[in-house]
A and B are shown apart, each in its own frame.
Chain A
Amino acid sequence: MPGSIRAFGTKTMADNPALESANDAFAQALEQPEVQGRSLWQDAWHRLLKNRAAVVSGTLLLILLLLVIFGPMLSPYDFDYTDWDNIYHAPSLANGHVFGTDAVGRDLFVRTLVGGRISLLVGLVATLVSLLIGVTYGAVAGYFGGRLDQTMMRLVDIFYAMPFMFLVILLMVVFGRHIVLIFVAIGAVNWLDMARIVRGQTLSLKNTDYVEAAKVCGVKPAAIIRRHILPNLLGVVMVYVTLTIPQVILVESFLSFLGLGVQEPMTSWGALVNDGAQDMESAPWMLVFPALFLTVTLYCLNYIGDGLRDALDPKDHL
């Protein structure tokens, strides 16, 4: 069969001069340097770079991240070291406490950065937990559809109506204030939106030709979801993740502020703000620095999330 086709092809081409010249043009085009195609991601990246607020936020966040990771190594003080000579000391360059010290003489610069590590870590890990639950749940519900989908989404509806913050507080009260529990509790509470978004996207993706093709080839559902559906969800999910991280950081700070989050001497931005709020009249620097770091981080993350959404979804651009 292949031989006969080739024979047929060569014969026609040889007989038809117009086709021959077209063939030449094609060969010429092949020799020319390849035109770079722009993928969806490159497009989105270019749009994101044009968004000044997002670029500034990204740069700021990067600086903050580096500071939080490497800053504590540069300071001569440990985050739980007590400097008895300098209790409640205002910020000063002379003795190296650039952000001042707290009620037991601990260096606030190091504590703010170490607290930032915890806050950001909680933000990342808890978001990952919610990502894992939400994407799996949503993809399964959307892909299998039917009664399973209905039951699963009803459950999400029911969960939606719950005062979740209070359940997290209950969890923390009941099972103690361990950091792993904070990750899990916050993550376990935050997956509902993700599940809904992913389900909606999966519903529209599962009827595409390439998924049909994969089904015909006998690919198993789990593999279809993993290989053909999830990669196409990446954009939506990424936007959502950037917007979830600040939310999660906020929840952790909220818990720590109420005294239900991380335990002394470890700290987080919420716990530091709580300490600061109690001594703000005599030592306002204890409130100002952690509050500033927390707010700037949330501000940047929100702007990046907004920018990403605009960049990845030009339809929504108002």
Chain B
Amino acid sequence: MLKYSLRRLLWAVPTLVLLITLAFFMMRVAPGGPFDSEKSLPPEIEANLNAKYHLDEPLVQQYFRYLGQILHLDFGPSFSYKDWTVNELIADGFPVSLTIGSLAMLLAFFAGTSIGTLAALRQNTAVDYGAMGTAMIGISIPNFVVAPLLILLVAVYAGWLPAGGWDWSWQRMVLPVITLALPMIAYIARLMRGSMIEVLHSNFIRTARAKGLPETTVIRRHALKPALLPVISFMGPATAGLITGSVVIERIFAIPGIGSYFVQGAMNRDYTLVMGVVVFYGILIILFNFLVDLIYAWFNPRIRYEDHG
């Protein structure tokens, strides 16, 4: 187990280096610099600015400087938010994004597995078809369609909840979290239904039933754990989807998370901010994939034995 974990962590290194390299050179190849949009500056000032941000050095030197900075987890100063470092911006936005993201993931996990299990137990009935048809809608409607519709119905017409903004109150969290969770609920429900049906057909479930165990015990004690496996391995890619989704959600609901900083930074050619966020997200996704792998191995004894051998 330990060996396996270490190997997995080691593989994160080339991934990160490649990511940083790609993002770095892509940003630098771009026509136009970060100070272009402002009024035309006197050449001395521009030279000073470039010197301050080391933009006057050769590209390769800048690249290695940046790599070295990231080793110290320092993403440098932001170009467009003066007096802010990228670290500060991330520290400012991340708690907000993390709150919404983890709430959405919790909601998606519990709602998705419950709906999927229910559909599996009532296979080929109206309940099953209804649940799966709805899940397909959940997958097909993009969240940037769901969000305005929800705002229109719940906030504008009904007036039950605020339409946007952020002040850490639960009223402002409800709509963003639901919107973010919706496609994930749908995916998890479909996965869960499929795996649950498969597990319910297996021999050990037949044995459990033959022993005369009540159906709820069969499901809870015997079927649930193996049926959850595909759902768990889906949680890795789901995080990436969640992060991407949060960019849109934060924009629509005017939430000051990392996603909104990222879009702003992209529009303003704020190299360091965009790079910082991409690398930060990369680390996050890698870490989470790693975590999911560990949970999966813990859930699935077959993997553990293989590793000891």
Contact = CB atoms under 8 A, between A and B. Distances in A.
Interface of A: 157-158, 161-167, 169-171, 173-175, 246, 250, 253-254, 257-260, 270, 273-274, 276-277, 280-281, 284, 287, 291, 294-295, 298-299, 302-303, 318
A303 B136 contact: yes
B23 interface: yes
Could you tell me the dominant secondary structure of chain B's interface residues?
A: helix
Interface string B215-258: 00000000000000000000000001001100110011000000
B247 A163 contact: no
Interface in B7-47: 11-12, 14-15, 18-19, 22-23, 26-27, 29-30
B30 A174 contact: yes
Contacts of A287: 145, 148-149, 152
Of the listed residues A174, A257, A291, the one surrounded by the most CB atoms of chain B closer than 10 A to its CB is A174
B263 A161 contact: no
A254 B142 contact: yes
A39 to B, nearest CB: 28
Given A167-B278, A258-B251, A270 B152 contact: no
A20 B247 CA distance: 80
Given A161-B289, A273-B144, A166 B27 contact: no
Contacts of B141: 291, 295, 298
B11 A157 contact: yes
Of the listed residues B11, B136, B148, B269, the one surrounded by the most CB atoms of chain A closer than 10 A to its CB is B148
Could you tell me the dominant secondary structure of chain A's interface residues?
A: helix
Nearest to A170: B26
B140 A257 contact: no
Contacts of A270: 142, 144
B261 interface: no
B56 interface: no
B282 interface: yes
B274 A253 contact: no
Interface string B286-298: 1001000000000
Given A166-B281, A270-B144, A273-B148, 8 more contacts: A157-B15, A167-B26, A170-B266, A173-B269, A173-B274, A284-B152, A295-B142, A318-B197
Contacts of B278: 163, 166-167, 170
Contact of A162 (B15, B136, B137): B15
Contacts of A161: 12, 15, 19, 282, 285-286, 289
A174 B26 contact: yes
Contact of A163 (B152, B252, B282): B282
Contact of A294 (B23, B29, B142, B282): B142
A162 to B, nearest CB: 5
B59 interface: no
Nearest to A276: B148
B277 A166 contact: yes
A245 B165 CA distance: 34
Contact of B23 (A170, A253, A298): A170
Contacts of B197: 318
B75 interface: no
Interface string B186-200: 000000001001100
Contacts of B148: 273, 276-277, 280, 287
Of the listed residues A162, A164, A246, A260, the one surrounded by the most CB atoms of chain B closer than 10 A to its CB is A162
B79 interface: no
Contacts of B267: 173, 259
Contacts of B136: 299, 302-303
Contacts of A175: 30
13 contacts: A158-B18, A161-B19, A166-B244, A170-B23, A170-B27, A174-B30, A254-B248, A270-B144, A274-B144, A277-B147, A277-B252, A287-B149, A298-B141
A263 to B, nearest CB: 14
Nearest to B244: A165
Nearest to B144: A257
A270 B11 CA distance: 37
A246 B142 CA distance: 11
